[in-house]
Structure 1
Amino acid sequence: MTPALSPNTQAILLLTAPLIAGRGTSTPDLLTPSEYKRLARHLREIQHQPADLLSPDAADLLRGCQPVVDEARLQRLLGRGFLLSQVIERWQARAIWVVSRADVDYPRRLKVRLREDAPAVLYGCGDNALLESGGLAVVGSRRVDDSLIGYAMNIGQLAAQAGRTLVSGGAKGIDQAAMRGAMESGGTVSGVLADSLEKAAMNREHRNMLLDGQLVLISPYDPSAGFNVGNAMQRNKLIYALSDASLVVSSDLNKGGTWAGAVEQLDKLKFVPVYVRSTGDESNGLDALRKKGAMPWPNPQDVDAFEKVFGATASSDKVFPQPGLPLSSRNEDASEATSAPPMTSEATPELEVLDEPTPSLVPAPSEPPAATVEPSPAETLFAAVRESIQQLLKVPMKDVEIATALDVSTGQAKVWLQRLVEEGVLEKQKKPAGYVVKQSRLFE
């Protein structure tokens, strides 16, 4: 059974979503992503949230939003309650869930890395916990020969053997081949679709894997929406944001969604390392990506070699954020940064995560007492890391789980964990496998 939509998500859907209930459904003057971003920021500044726009006494609030969005336009959009109820029934019948940036279940990786540019709403089917597992993004062209289809399937199989989630876009060609290779080998897959989520969710081959938690499909676009080139381009950043490393198997030169997504990642976003295929037929597109900073895929043949691609660093200045740097401090544009104070875990969920500034591992500075020596930035960071890891380890956790919780690479997590073991703060146990806080520390 799909969870009920939160009041905030209902309001955001009314403002931004076409709510396609069938053929002939008319789409009003929806808020564009940039318009909704401005509205969300305005509501936050006046200490309100989207759900407040639906309250019976919202007239003053709607007038207060006039400088950002026309009041009459807001009223027309918010008046689509009956249509929303129709599409909710349709989605629930197909086990499609919906989360917004105002929900605690919204993928943290997207919120941390994309901040206000994260989609206001995500539609999905399957276990959304997979969206936090990172993994390898595999992308490529739709029209490729059988040799590259086999190549992509082999990559998916290796990801499954390594226990790494395969992240891709679900398009014909390379995307589907890599995803199929992973699923047929018992691996987990996150598919970020640009269109037709509803159709994909009802696919007979997908249903068991969706129900078993092996596959999750998401889209920032209405589940019934058809293909749109612009949408396909825009969803690429989500694929990279959900992964820990990426591989471009094939790409045209200076055109196409694969090219645009890889260039955006290399030149602007820099979330993860970008590899390109280094065997087989030559490719002008892949050669050009290498010149922009992409690295040749090392062609790992076993799990140990495959794991090494997640700890690699690039030699040029076009490099993904260095291990150990909190994700919350990466790629932040000061003009886009939110000003609301972080909420406590006891706060109302909608307020807690409504476009909030992502908490950093580094605590907010406070005035030091007189005659004390300021710790170095490295000492401050590790002190916060030490405290965060101790708080996480209420039950034994593996290094991969800790890395996911802290949004850092597994390699960086291992470095921190080894240091804490050497300090006598943690110990590594075998049954159940994982790290735990030393017993003596529990009473300090």
Structure 2
Amino acid sequence: MTPKLTYFNGKWLAELTRLLYSYGSVEFEDVRVTYGGSEWDSLKPTTPFGQLPTLEENGKVAWQSAAIARYVAKKVGLMGSNDWENLEIDAIVDTLADLRFKMSQFFYEKDETKQGALKKTAIDETIPYYLEKLDKIAKENNGHMVAKKLTWADFALTVLLDNIEVIGGKTPYEKFKNLIAVKNNVESIPNIKKWLETRPVTEFFQIRLKKSYNHFVVLKKIIVSLNRMIPKLTYLNGKWLGELIRLLFSFGDVEFEDVRVVYGSTEWEDLKRNTPFGQVPILEENGKVVCQSTAIARYVAKKVGLMGANDWENLEIDAVVDTINDLRFKMSRYAYEKDEIKKESMKKISMEETLPYYLERLDKIAKENNGYMVAKKLTWADIALKAILENIEVLAGKTPYEKYENLITVKNNVDSIPNIKKWIETRPTSDF
């Protein structure tokens, strides 16, 4: 009955879940393996997607760190009071994940000169950009990240600041007093204080280096009117990160304003400056604005009845969706490479190695669920799978996935839904 959390012997992606369990006085098995050791080499092939953390509970195994943390946060009473607050929490958590990814890219660069430049950019530009905006949110919420009260977004922020210390010490964030207030609020909780005093001492990622607003700021130019009843989705004129949300609205026959801007245009440059974190999609509803595509999609999925029947099913859905996001990122990395030779090499690996690795495992999940991704029934994980297959077509056509019959069954099940079929037939044509 005791939940079993398995991760490396470090903080990075698992510490948030450990903090949440500790906050709630929930006993859990904290299994740690050494990265690169024989134990990890043996464990890796047995994990769903060759990565950690994983959570085992009542004989079931789940993966994806944010999905697991969200599941535990609900258990220990750190969710929002309503769906919109939970959307805001998800948006904060996903933004922190964006920052963690961007600031850690230099870890993976083998050229020491480039690695130094990437690290400098992370510390001098990327981290300050995000922290300034996050600090403003914390100030507007009186030392919390959402709704002026303690939620799991505060814990996620605390962990992110710990991660920053791994890269650059406290210097990159010590001037952001409101973020420090959030961190102090979390660390002063008796159960958290106890965990911090007794947890194993680690130097995570050191070994790897050696081996290799009140909610959000009201937007000035993009809000035409406040207190709108019709939700307004703003994205670029393409599918990529916006289509899952559009499909979900369409499934539920929910009227929404589908605002599209042309990337690189004057309109986009004006819009970009006034978005919460310089990116789209964003959703406006009842005078409030929020970002992060997956957070928005989860919020809409609940509106249209495509969530799981219980917390564990929702954890499974989140794990599938986050895995799909991993795949989309990994298969598209080559698009940002400027060196043409390296770019072609990266694309070849993406198409011949990365895609098959993920699609084979996703196909197995679809087979076990009779043509669905979770619980043998339609959930928003199926809509997310349909959207990623469309993304794959943009990059390489149908060839990379046409042999995976169970994934095609999932896609066909979604495409045959009358409201979805109607959307596909009438949506604007776009190149990406």
Rg: which structure is higher?
A: 1
Shorter-chain TM range is under 0.3
TM-score (norm: length of structure 2):
0.27
**TM-score of the superposed pair, with normalisation by structure 1:** 0.27
